[in-house]
Amino acid sequence: MRSLRIGLLLGLRQIQRASFWTTSLIIFVMMLTFLNLIAVSGILVGLIAGAEVALRESAVGDIIIEPLDDEDRILETPALLSKFSSFPEITAYSVRYNGAGTLEANYKERRDLTGERDTAALTVTGIDPVLEDKMTNLSDLVVKGEYLDPNEEGKILIGIYYLEEYAELYGDLFDTVENVNPGDIVRVSVGEVSKEFEVKGIVESKVDEVNFTTFIPEREFRRLFNRIDRNADQIVVRVVDPAENATVKDSLIDAGVGELAEIKTYEENVPKFLADIKNTFDLLGAFIGSIGLIVASITIFIIIFINALSRRQQIGILKGIGIDRVSIEVAYVLQAAFYALVGSALGALITYGFLIGYLMENPIDFPFSDGIMVADPISTLYRFVTLFIITLFAGFIPAWMIVRQNTLNSILGRK
């Protein structure tokens, strides 16, 4: 304890007498190292997290209700929906009817009736425009034209992947139609049944499920697909607290909804490959951050070594008057700990006080997602501990190398 107290005193005096600019530069390096450890992996993981947020907000919600394994549709959909009124946790839901058909455009302008038709296979989704917009804010995704009016007939919203001008940006991968804009008339065919629709709007999202869908009012869907019953293909639900969606799911099951349909939380419905990509990006970010960690440890080592070497004579005098080696080593380790703690604290302040909130409000515009930053506090703590321990070693080793030299040679400046 005596050696520790003396070492702390010596370390504090050295920090106080050190150059302000040198100390600031070292702290700045440690802050950047901390940000490199946290921010790089956080942004990489945030790419996928942003895609998940968009999927949750624009497509599937917090709870997904689908038909049982041995059923084509959700049983007794009206009765099931009536149960929602007893759940104050549910803030919004949308009932969807899905079917496959064929989209045909420009058929009125086609001169050669024997030529190839401008068609594309498509997915048709019947919705209640009001419920869907409350659930997913679908109207905000209309980039051309207008959103569906629940009082209008014969209107359709088309996802951009069905339009050549958008899909060609991704290569010749999608079955598309040409020259379709709001106000144009297209024909949707289901088997032998066809109906003309006016294109009310074009929908663009960073969620493929939305871009690969056309939307029409529920009542027109049931007429077009000859769906006499009101049993839906999918119901998506949003709850007050998304973190409590598993609890709401259990309550729905207890209310008997599980006997009519299969209920999944968003987490249970996320494809495994998305979780694998997140883990891969996290590992990649940790690898990139480790390079910065090595650079920072070398920087601390060099700075402490030069500092100790320039004070070699003073160290020899301290040893000569009875200060033991452990106290001197503690003094230099304390300096390294000071740099690591202050630099990491500034890095954490920037990360949690600015970067996360800023990127949440102003996400990075990537082609497939709005990138945010993810920084789990537990992972951050582990990385800080790693940085701190390595910095302590980087401070101890050069001090140990200098202090172990012969005392008389140190005082006289001899090698």
Among the candidates 260, 286, 310, a domain finishes at 260
> Do 146 and 166 fall within a single domain?
yes
313 alpha carbon, distance to own chain's centre: 55
* 265 within domain boundaries: no
Quote the pLDDT of residue 408. Answer: 53
Residue 229 DSSP label: S
Residues in contact with 103: Cβ distance below 8 Å, sequence separation at least 6, in sequence order:
119, 120, 121, 122, 158, 162, 177, 186, 187, 188, 214
The model's pTM: 0.74
Q: Are 375 and 352 in contact (CB under 8 A)?
A: yes
Three-state SS annotation for 146-178: CCCCCCCCCEEEEEHHHEHHHHHHHCCCCCCEC
Q: Which amino acid is at 401?
A: M
Q: What is the mean pLDDT of the chain?
A: 81
Quote the pLDDT of residue 2. Answer: 65
357 alpha carbon, distance to own chain's centre: 13
Q: Model confidence at 340, in pLDDT bands (50, 70, 90)? A: confident
Residues in contact with 292: Cβ distance below 8 Å, sequence separation at least 6, in sequence order:
32, 33, 36, 37
pLDDT tens digits, one per residue of 223-270: 999 888 889 999 999 999 988 999 999 999 998 888 889 999 988 887
> Do 48 and 106 fall within a single domain?
no
Quote the pLDDT of residue 38. Answer: 80
Listed in sequence order, the DSSP H helices in 86-160 are: 129-136
> Do 135 and 29 fall within a single domain?
no
Mean pLDDT of 218-226: 91
Quote the pLDDT of residue 310. Answer: 63
* 315 within domain boundaries: yes
Q: In the chain, how many domains are there? A: 2
> Do 131 and 251 fall within a single domain?
yes
- Spatial distance between the Cα atoms of 343 and 341, rounded to a whole number of angstroms: 6
Identify the helix (H) or strand (E) that includes residue 66. Answer: strand 63-66
> Do 109 and 183 fall within a single domain?
yes
- Spatial distance between the Cα atoms of 298 and 59, rounded to a whole number of angstroms: 48
Among the candidates 232, 260, 288, a domain finishes at 260
> Do 73 and 29 fall within a single domain?
no
- Spatial distance between the Cα atoms of 377 and 202, rounded to a whole number of angstroms: 41
> Do 206 and 325 fall within a single domain?
no
> Do 221 and 241 fall within a single domain?
yes
Q: What is the residue whose two structure tokens read 């624009």?
A: 58
> Do 51 and 186 fall within a single domain?
no
Quote the pLDDT of residue 321. Answer: 59
Among the candidates 260, 283, 305, a domain finishes at 260
Three-state SS annotation for 232-272: CCEEEEEECCHHHHHHHHHHHHHCCHHHCCEEEEHHHHCCH
Quote the pLDDT of residue 141. Answer: 92
372 or 115, greater pLDDT: 372
* 333 within domain boundaries: yes
pLDDT tens digits, one per residue of 373-402: 877 788 778 878 887 888 788 777 777 776
> Do 93 and 240 fall within a single domain?
yes
> Do 97 and 206 fall within a single domain?
yes
Q: Model confidence at 129, in pLDDT bands (50, 70, 90)? A: very high
* 268 within domain boundaries: no
What domain range includes position 184? 68-260
